[in-house]
Amino acid sequence: MKVIIIGSGLAGPVLALALKQRNISCKIFEARDKAAFEGGFVALAPNALRALDRVGVYDRISNQGWNYEEFQFVSSRNLGRIATILNGSQNKYGYRALRISRGVVRQTLLEVLREQQIDIQYGSKCVKIEETDHSTVVATFADGHTEEADILIGTDGIHSRVRNYIDASAIPTFSGQMGVGGSLPKMKLGPEANTVYMPCMVLGKLNSFAFMPCDYNGTRIGCFATIESQERTREEWNKLQSDKDTLQAYMRSHHEHERWPEIVHRASENVDKDTLTLWPYYSVPKLESWSSASGHVVVIGDAAHAMPPHGGQGSAMAFEDALTLADTLSRIMDDRTTTKDGASASESEFESDLDLPHALRPWQTARQARIEKILAFTARSGDTRKASASTLRQIFKEWAMWAYFLWVGEDAGLSWIYHYDTNAETFGKS
């Protein structure tokens, strides 16, 4: 089975490593240059880290970011604690949570790909996909070259070309909000930095502002604001991404209309401008299918189901998709190369009895069900950050959150997300 993967963000490399572990060879094509560096930080929950452990990457990154268990919500009125939740736990989940640079995660993945001699071709933007009458897929790249494979998997992110081939009507929709984040030395946050527990989210009347240590020693703090925004074209978003002065102006504008603690002002004044990155919140409408009618073209990760940021599960879902798809393809291979009496199937048998859509269906159904549940949780989590009409309402919201988290307990009802183990998935098979 020849597999090609389009996109080497976070899902593509994990998929390639998982396929290699299952003796399925693949090649990755990436639109960007080799030197392109990913900006921003990710908070990786235990389920994301368990998946990275499976492909031999966790140990390499765990000491390159901030390991933590508790996350606090605090009030913008007085920095008082509203609630504490467990985002990770060595005892409970086997992993603490990890706040780390996206660039470090991706570069480490690429390093492991190199060591495992998995082929990756940079500067290769996929512009066209066609299926042949002999059950293969041909990808055409912007430079005119083509590549033929049995299966093409799109891990090409939210504005996916591969998804467009599967379902051209699934256009990402903009939420009206964007995240602007950066980092700075902790000492530049002033005295409050020594008394406020971090990581935390300061919940204001109108919106929120997060502080998250982002290096191993906690000397560097990432800060992140969610800001209302109009929609832009891809070119305009890219332009804004590189315009650090405007990004900083946006971060300052976040707290123009209400009173915020001094630490929030210091963060947006002193943030290192070159670390500022932008994350416009888009989501992808639910796809009828994650694969083409033939099953030879498949999408996973943000390409299949990009989600709002409030649950911190975007990359975790991309990793889980990758591992479970690799398992599914491996099972398909095993089923097809073994005849009833255990002998190897011939090449023609191999071709004729392939019913990929049918074989992929249980995997997709299970993944979609989990994604739906995560999306519902993410939406609830986003509601806690919606604007309150008055200070009284803000106080009421804080009280309601306090009572809710007291009721659900320290795991905040998140253990079904964090305990998830791709190895335990059977997709209908015992």
Ligand X SMILES: Cc1cc2nc3c(=O)[nH]c(=O)nc-3n(C[C@H](O)[C@H](O)[C@H](O)COP(=O)(O)OP(=O)(O)OC[C@H]3O[C@@H](n4cnc5c(N)ncnc54)[C@H](O)[C@@H]3O)c2cc1C
Nearest CB to ligand X, comparing residues 354 and 374: 374
Q: How far is the CB of 126 from ligand X (least distance, A)?
A: 4
Mark 419-430 as b/e (b = at least 16 C-beta within 10 Å): ebebeebebeee
Q: Is the CB of 26 or the CB of 354 nearer to ligand X?
A: 26
- Comparing every residue's Cβ against ligand X, the nearest one is 9
Whichever of 40 and 88 has its CB closer to ligand X, that residue is 40
Least Å distance, CB 256 to ligand X, is 23
CB of 269 to ligand X, least distance (A): 21
Calpha distance 199→218 (Å, rounded): 10
Q: Which is nearer to ligand X, 74 or 178 (CB)?
A: 178
Helix segments in 116-183, DSSP class H: 161-166
For 151, the enclosing helix (H) or strand (E) is strand 151-154
* Tokens read off for 12: 């593509």
For residue 232, what are the CA distances in angstroms to 173, 214, 424? 11, 29, 42
Nearer to ligand X, 258 or 272 (CB): 272
User: Is 274 buried (19+), middle (13-18) or exposed (0-12) by CB count in 10 A?
Assistant: exposed
The nearer residue to ligand X, 223 or 354, going by C-beta atoms, is 223
Q: Which residues of 84-108 are buried (b: 16+ CB within 10 A; e: fewer)?
A: bbbbbbeeebebbbbbbbbbbbbeb
- The answer for residues whose C-beta is within 8 angstroms of residue 139's C-beta and 6 or more apart is 4, 6, 29, 126, 128, 129, 146, 147, 148, 149, 152
Q: Which residues bind ligand X (CB under 6 A)?
A: 6-12, 29-32, 40, 42-43, 102, 125-126, 155-157, 161, 277, 279, 301-303, 309, 312-316, 318
We find the least distance from the C-beta atom of residue 336 to ligand X, in angstroms, to be 28
135/151 Cα distance (integer angstroms): 9
Distance of closest approach, residue 293 Cβ to ligand X, in angstroms? 21
What Cα–Cα distance (Å) separates residue 195 from each residue in 259, 285, 319? Answer: 19, 42, 36
Taking a C-beta distance cutoff of 8 angstroms, is the pair 320, 397 a contact?
A: no
Return the beta strands (E) in 296-410 as ranges. 297-299
Q: CB of 322: closest distance to ligand X in angstroms?
A: 8
Closest approach, Cβ 218 to ligand X, in A, equals 17
Task: Specify the residue, 75 or 313, whose C-beta has the smaller distance to ligand X.
Answer: 313
Helix (H, G, I), strand (E, B) or coil at 130: strand
Q: Which is nearer to ligand X, 161 or 397 (by Cβ)?
A: 161
Closest separation in Å from C-beta 316 to ligand X: 5
Give the integer Cα–Cα distance in Å for 246 and 315.
Answer: 27
